[in-house]
């Protein structure tokens, strides 16, 4: 009897110790990041990488993960779908990462995220805002607010301030992000009672938009809506002013970039954009982030750096809560994140693995993004 009880206790103890051993974090935890680091879209990808790297350095210097350290591998997808698939495959099969942050563009995510979903590797997008991103699978998350969470609120404030009744729109027809954003703008304008009187499109790589802009302006809209990535956003703004557009311009998320201010200069004045973050936020984690980023890089962070920084901490929190670097365990803990203090504010995932936190409308004044009131 006693011997049986002893053996049973030993078996139970061994099983318990074994489960703790399985759940224990390894000395090094491999994390991947896929960003657009070359070409026009590097102006989104490089700040994201800086935010991620800063967060990882802080996490490794702390005891957040005990004695374990994150080993970060960042790869360039060159804003190309096939390259995105290639680097995702390498990170998953060769580097054996526990999770991937990225990619930068929604178009790349639509191509590459299914690779990770099939392999059971958690993905956290930090700049993918198009409709349908998280619908690709239950391993796909994002901390970047979807277009549908930002655009209606921004438009509502613009309409209320300027008494908007009509709008015209220009968008890129060859990019999933821009097409999705255009659809959200159309739906939002309709719901808010604004008549979209004209819509024009262009293709990636176009450089002259004057014909489309003149057609849009000829309809005398109260506002113009532009959906572009950085490569076209700057000349679109410049040429809009050239053809005499003086009405308020509402840009999509691609316009929320310091390079727009720098290179479009005066043409960017009065531009209104919706953002997931504002540098003058009084949120404690945001203020800490801005100070740390300034100290480390000698420059101000932008929205994309903030989303990358928050993303790394969100992944680390899931790893900590899981007590494991196993992919499925991390995925399960990501889904449970609620009311987490981050640089983006109080952060939660909804049932669809999309982010829940406040957006903020901004306007360009004197070469800076300021609050649109």
Cα–Cα distance measured from residue 49 to residue 214, given in angstroms and rounded to the nearest whole number: 38
Length of the chain: 373
Q: How confident is the model over 164-183, as pLDDT tens digits?
A: 999 999 999 999 999 999 99
pTM for the predicted model, two decimal places: 0.90
Q: 289 pLDDT band (50/70/90 cuts)?
A: very high
Structural domains in the chain, sorted by start? 25-145+281-358 (3.40.50.2300), 148-275 (3.40.50.2300)
Which residues touch 230 (CB under 8 Å, ≥6 apart)? 40, 41, 43, 44, 254, 257, 259, 260
User: Given this model, what pLDDT does residue 19 score?
Assistant: 33
Phi/psi region, residue 24 (left: phi>0; alpha: psi -120 to 50; beta: rest), is beta
Closest CA to 197 of 173, 229, 170: 170
Cα–Cα distance measured from residue 70 to residue 152, given in angstroms and rounded to the nearest whole number: 38
Q: How confident is the model over 317-353, as pLDDT tens digits?
A: 999 999 999 999 999 999 999 999 999 999 999 999 9
User: Given this model, what pLDDT does residue 24 score?
Assistant: 82
Local structure of 360: helix, strand or coil = strand
Closest CA to 372 of 158, 129, 66, 85: 158
- Residue 139, token pair as written in the block: 């391993």
């Amino acid at each position: 009897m006693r011997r049986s009880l002893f053996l049973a206790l030993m078996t139970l103890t061994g099983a318990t110790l074994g489960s703790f051993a399985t759940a224990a974090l390894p000395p090094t935890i491999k994390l991947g990041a896929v960003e657009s680091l070359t070409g026009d879209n590097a102006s989104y990808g490089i700040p994201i990488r800086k935010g991620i790297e800063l967060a990882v350095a802080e996490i490794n210097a702390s005891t957040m993960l005990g004695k374990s350290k994150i080993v970060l591998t960042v790869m360039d997808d060159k804003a190309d779908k096939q390259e995105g698939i290639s680097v995702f495959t390498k990170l998953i099969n060769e580097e054996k990462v526990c999770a991937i942050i990225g990619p930068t563009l929604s178009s790349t995510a639509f191509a590459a995220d299914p690779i990770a979903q099939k392999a059971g590797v958690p993905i956290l997008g930090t700049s993918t805002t198009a409709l349908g991103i998280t619908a690709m699978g239950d391993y796909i998350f994002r901390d970047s607010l979807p277009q549908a969470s930002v655009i209606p609120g921004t438009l509502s404030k613009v309409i209320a301030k300027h008494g908007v009744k009509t709008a015209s729109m220009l968008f890129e027809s060859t990019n999933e992000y821009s097409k999705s954003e255009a659809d959200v703008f159309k739906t939002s304008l309709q719901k808010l009672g604004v008549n979209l009187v004209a819509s024009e499109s262009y293709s990636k790589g176009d450089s002259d938009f004057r014909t489309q802009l003149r057609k849009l302006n000829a309809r005398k809209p109260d506002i113009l809506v532009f959906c572009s990535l950085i490569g076209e956003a700057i000349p679109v703004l410049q040429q809009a002013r050239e053809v005499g557009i003086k009405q308020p311009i509402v840009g999509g998320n691609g316009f929320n970039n310091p390079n727009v201010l720098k290179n479009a200069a005066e043409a960017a004045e009065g531009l209104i954009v919706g953002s997931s973050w504002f540098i003058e936020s009084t949120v404690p984690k945001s203020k800490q982030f801005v100070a740390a980023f300034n100290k480390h890089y000698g420059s101000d962070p932008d929205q994309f750096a903030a989303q990358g920084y928050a993303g790394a901490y969100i992944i680390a929190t899931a790893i900590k809560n899981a007590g494991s670097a196993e992919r499925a365990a991390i995925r399960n803990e990501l889904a449970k994140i609620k009311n987490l203090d981050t640089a983006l504010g109080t952060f939660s995932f909804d049932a669809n693995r999309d982010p829940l936190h406040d957006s903020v409308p901004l306007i360009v004044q004197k070469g800076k993004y300021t609050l649109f009131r």
